[in-house]
Chains A and B, each alone.
Chain A
Amino acid sequence: MTARIPRFPGVELGPKDLESGVVTTVRYRPEAKFAWSAGEAMTRFLAELEQGRLIARECKGCDRILFPPRMFCEECYRPTDAWVYVRDTGTIETYSISYLDTDARRITEPILVGVVSIDGASPKMGMMHYFGEMSKDDIRIGMRVQAKWRAARDRTGSVLDIEYFRPMRGG
């Protein structure tokens, strides 16, 4: 409703009307399951995550360190040249303080999410992740952070093997 139109004409519908059958709907759950081959570059990347390391590919054509790694350089359009490790530290490039959880419910302890420029990777080769061990009042652009890895036995070869990025000691 707006200030000028206090009440729209017609019948309002809510979730209850859908559930009670006032509005006719047909439900169906598709059988849609997939398992994507990670490929040459990301298979190595995920295996390295499990070891607590971040790996990239170097392109000697444009002198960039491509992170996450890829077998071809999208700028030069040629195969990349070598595997190189990058560090698990970096700088907060951008962040957001989320007051909603994934179901859009309001939360009191906000989720801190952002992009970290990874030390050793080229510009615009950051990693999106969560931040922890800091409050919404501490977080700032340019803050130095380090990956908080899960315990080795809990790692599965996933970007979630990093729990979050936390403030770097002395950073």
Chain B
Amino acid sequence: MKVGIVGVGITPFRSATPEFSWKELMYDGAQRAYADAGIDPRTDVGSFITCAEDYYEGFGIFDEFTPDQLGAVLRPMHTVGGDGIQGLANAYMQIQSGLADVVVVESHSKASDILTFEGIVAHGLDPIWNKPLGGHPNYLAGLEMDAFLRGSGNTAKDCALIASANRRAALLNSVAAYGARVTPEQAAASPGLWAPLRSLDASVLADGCVVLVVAGEKAARRMAARPVWVQGIGWASDSPSPETRDWVRPAYARIAAAMAYRLAKVRVPANAFDLAEVDDKFSYKELQHLEAIGLARKGQSGKMARRGDLGAGGKLPTNVSGGSLGCGNVLDASGLHRIAEAALQLRGDAGKHQVDGAERAVVQSWRGLPAATGAVAVLGVGP
């Protein structure tokens, strides 16, 4: 049975949303998705899934606090402690198994409620092996960027191109929080943080909520929005120990892609897609992920950026939404946001940043530091 995305709701991302509680933010995102799908959540939905991490929310057992604002009171409901695409995978399985016809997937960031974000990231490190070292946990990104550039042959200049391109692209996306006319030279000259990583190589936290309505084929065809089919989906984790991970071609991305491509019958990924949304929480991550999921050969992703292949009119438009660098890092909602952007593109509803004639897209996510977990989905429109 085919599984389709039939409703998309995105709240505008902002650096802070003091006017909303996290419940009210979720309600805002959910209302938009239900209006898009043309459904009533109180009667038309079989199961609800949220993707959240207690340490980001700031209180325990977040699962218990989700039903009211999603219209899920006294309905099947659970939380995935992971990235939004992992939530979509759960929805896919529930529909394929016949448990539900229509499933809602939600993820959000209320990062502005977190006063000590670095402390939360540091708390994700191994308590005996890495934590006692102390220091700012983002040095992991510096280490990884250095290893990736050396191992692949891409350069810090290529990363500056991404830092610039995604912020500029975001100026056309009304959802984005951090669109800016940044030049590659400006990015390359921004203050060094954890060499070779510079401040404009890093995304900035944002608040926002993304909600998808997902349905089996029969139910999908009754919905208001044109279905975007989930043709393949996969997820994986690399080692929890940073020292053990593959920093040139991250295993979580490679394995998740292989899983999704097998399901979607994608044999030559480099030629299979009209559009890509890949994680860019740091600029080098976009290049690293493009190579890891087979969209660029080793060391060639920087060249693709230089040739303009990744732009809106290029060979493989990548992160034309602005990505995390341009839209903001919305934590575990980042993957779901990429799915939402790709779905709107395939429907032809992406507005000013619409890519002409896109029919098949690949979307890839990473949970962010210090995780080595990610997911991949292949989306398509058509019969």
Residues of A participating in the B interface, judged by any CB pair closer than 8 Å: 26, 28, 30-42, 70-72, 74-77
Instruction: Determine if B157 is an interface residue (Cβ-Cβ < 8 Å).
Output: no
A-B pairs with CB below 8 Å: how many?
A: 81
**B window 66-125: CB within 8 A of A:** 67-69, 71, 73, 110, 112-116, 118-120, 122-123
B68 contacts A74, C-beta separation under 8 Å = yes
Instruction: Determine if B18 is an interface residue (Cβ-Cβ < 8 Å).
Output: yes
Note all chain B residues with C-beta closer than 8 A to A36: 21-22, 58, 110, 113
Interface residue tally for chain B (C-beta within 8 Å): 35
**Bound CA span A40–B69, Å:** 14
Note all chain A residues with C-beta closer than 8 A to B42: 75-77
Note all chain B residues with C-beta closer than 8 A to A31: 116, 118-120, 122-123
B21 contacts A41, C-beta separation under 8 Å = yes
From A33, A35, A39, A77, B21 is in contact (CB under 8 Å) with A39
Residue of A nearest to B126 (CB): A26
Note all chain A residues with C-beta closer than 8 A to B110: 36-37
A30 contacts B113, C-beta separation under 8 Å = no
**B window 1-25: CB within 8 A of A:** 17-24
14 A-B residue pairs with Cβ-Cβ distance under 8 Å, sorted by A, are A30-B119, A31-B118, A31-B120, A31-B123, A32-B120, A32-B123, A34-B59, A35-B113, A37-B18, A38-B21, A72-B27, A72-B68, A74-B67, A74-B71
**Bound CA span A81–B353, Å:** 38
Interface of A is mostly: loop
Residue of B nearest to A39 (CB): B21
A30 contacts B23, C-beta separation under 8 Å = no
**Bound CA span A142–B21, Å:** 34
**Bound CA span A74–B306, Å:** 51
A74 contacts B128, C-beta separation under 8 Å = no
Flag B39-55 by CB within 8 Å of A: 1 or 0 each. Answer: 01110000000000001
Note all chain B residues with C-beta closer than 8 A to A71: 24, 27
A34 contacts B114, C-beta separation under 8 Å = yes
A154 CB → nearest B CB, Å? 26
**Bound CA span A31–B73, Å:** 34
Residue of B nearest to A31 (CB): B119
B20 contacts A37, C-beta separation under 8 Å = yes
Instruction: Determine if B127 is an interface residue (Cβ-Cβ < 8 Å).
Output: yes
Known: A31-B119, A75-B73. 6 other contacts (CB 8 A): A31-B120, A31-B123, A37-B17, A42-B21, A71-B27, A72-B24
Note all chain A residues with C-beta closer than 8 A to B69: 72, 74
B116 contacts A33, C-beta separation under 8 Å = yes
A77 contacts B71, C-beta separation under 8 Å = yes
A35 contacts B24, C-beta separation under 8 Å = no
B128 contacts A26, C-beta separation under 8 Å = yes
**Bound CA span A37–B115, Å:** 12
Residue of B nearest to A27 (CB): B127
B181 CB → nearest A CB, Å? 31
Residue of A nearest to B20 (CB): A39
**What are the 6 A-B residue pairs with the smallest beta carbon separation, nearest first?**
A31-B119, A39-B21, A34-B58, A74-B68, A33-B115, A30-B123
